[in-house]
Amino acid sequence: MISAVREVSVFGDAIAYFNEAAALLDLDPGIRRLLTKPSRQIIFAIPFTRDNGEMEVFTGYRVQYNFARGPAKGGIRFHPGVTLDEVTALAFWMTWKCAVVDLPFGGGKGGVTCDPTTLSKGELERITRRYAAELVEVVGPDKDVPAPDVGTTAQIMAWFMDTYSMHVREHVPGVVTGKPLEIGGSKGRVEATGRGVSLVALAQMHRMGIGTKGAKIVVQGFGNVGSIAAKLFVDAGCTVIAISDVTGAYYNERGIDVAGAIAYAQEHASLDGYRGGERITNEALLELPCDVLVPAALEKQLTIANAADVSAKLIVEGANGPTTPEADHIFAQRGIVVIPDILANAGGVTVSYFEWAQDRAGYFWKESEVNERLADVMLEHYGAVVELAQLRDIPLRTAAYMLAIDRVVTSMRLRGVYA
């Protein structure tokens, strides 16, 4: 295993991927500089009162990266590791994610530096409402549309929507997506990201001649994305041999009972104590021999330190930024195909777009219609990325970025730069 690990910011990794694709597009230097700067970064204090009466102050962020194709779009993350650098990178990725699947959105992201697992429901509500109140002037259905992300839920989106609506004195369900169905959410939204991951993974497996029956799948991260993707892989006839969450990784060569693992995680709030597989380290999970590896946890999981030991034939990025540029180059040299995050996990933002459109129309679709339209979007744009990759003899990631950047630049040129 290689021991030298380069320390670069998450945003630095994101820019490195952008630069590789931009170099092939012959971009105007001014446009290129503009695309590597966020439109707006907002940092603010979030004071709130704990249940015991003590005052606490957390830090909140919202980055609106680009508006060329429409209002900013991106999640709100509640996590102890939230930083301005991370949120900026995530907003940057959202810009290309929306563009690669041709949605009328720009990129945004937000977060609060906190550990939601240590907070009561009342404390979470107070934090969320203060966070929303700080952003009332800069969010809205035509400005910036947040959504759930790591550590946030449909309930948190409901509190955000209610706070915004109270401030503007009208009911505005379209200010956020990922809401409960009862107040304007979309059917199929909860499963959308994991469903999108499975759709493009199965399409690429078919292209690579990997049969679904008995195909060995490893899923890192067993939250909403990882668990849904794992279930859909099993439904397709694959065998999920390993799963993990923050408590550890669990391996079963004969196959994990994914439905049972989901039920266990829901009952116990984690996989801790799960007995359906041998407990292994997260490092060992990433290096298991398998057909498909789905990193669906956090950023920087596949690095120069472990890339040479990864034994998957195909990597499908369920998380944002799980692979560093150095690791990506090693995978390319070793012939390991990577479906990049901006394409692989775009199912969530696609159905968020559907929810936003349904809220604005006041008309809601059947779940079967949502899933059918999601499949159409994901597979159409996956096909376009594959076609460009083959035409230019480049990795799927570079092709995805080239398509996305070209769409954003076209919008910018048509609109012009107001100066």
What CATH number corresponds to the domain at position 239?
3.40.50.720
Domain ranges, residue 163? 38-174
Residues 300-318, mean pLDDT to the nearest whole number: 96
Token code pair at residue 22 = 């931009």
Same-domain pairing of 114 and 159: yes
Measured CA to CA, the distance from residue 96 to residue 405 in angstroms comes to 7
In a domain, 351, yes or no: no
- Indicate whether 11 belongs to any domain: no
What is residue 417's predicted lDDT score, i.e. its pLDDT? 82
pLDDT in tens, 326-385: 999 999 999 999 999 999 999 999 999 999 999 999 999 999 999 999 999 999 999 999
Domain boundary residue, one of 174, 209, 238: 174
Distance between CA atoms of residues 307 and 150, nearest Å = 25
Q: Are residues 207 and 135 in the same domain?
A: no
* DSSP of 315-364: EE--SSS-B-HHHHHHHHHHT-EEE-HHHHTTHHHHHHHHHHHHHHHT--
Q: Is 199 in the same domain as 337? A: yes
Residues 207 and 166 in one domain: no
Whether residues 196 and 322 share a domain: the answer is yes
Q: Kindly report the CA angle at 7 between 404 and 302, in degrees rounded to 5?
A: 60
* 158-211 pLDDT tens trace: 999 999 999 999 999 999 999 999 999 999 999 999 999 999 999 999 999 999
Which tokens go with 13? 């990794």
Residue 86 belongs to a domain: yes
Residue 392 falls in which region: left (phi positive, over 0), alpha (psi -120 to 50) or beta = alpha
Q: Give mean pLDDT, residues 16-22.
A: 89
What pLDDT, on a 0 to 100 scale, did the predictor assign at position 11?
A: 86
3-state secondary structure of 81: coil
Closest CA to 93 of 60, 61, 65: 65
Give Cβ neighbours of residue 228 (< 8 Å, ≥ 6 apart): 190, 191, 193, 194, 195, 198
Question: Number of structural domains, the chain?
Answer: 2
Locate 222 and state its tokens. 């067993």
Domain boundary among 283, 313, 344: 344
Q: Quick check: is 406 in a domain?
A: no
Q: Is 300 a catalytic residue?
A: no
Same domain flag for 157 and 198: no
The residue annotated as part of the active site, out of 109, 179, 231, 313, is 109
Residue at 283 is within a domain: yes
Query: Residue 6: pLDDT above 70?
Result: no
207 C-beta neighbours (distance < 10 Å), count: 13
Nearest to 67 by CA among 100, 40, 97, 42: 40
Residues 122-141 pLDDT 10s: 999 999 999 999 999 999 99
CA distance linking residue 293 with residue 383, whole number of Å: 21
Last residue of a domain, one of 313, 344, 375: 344
Q: Does one domain contain both 93 and 199?
A: no
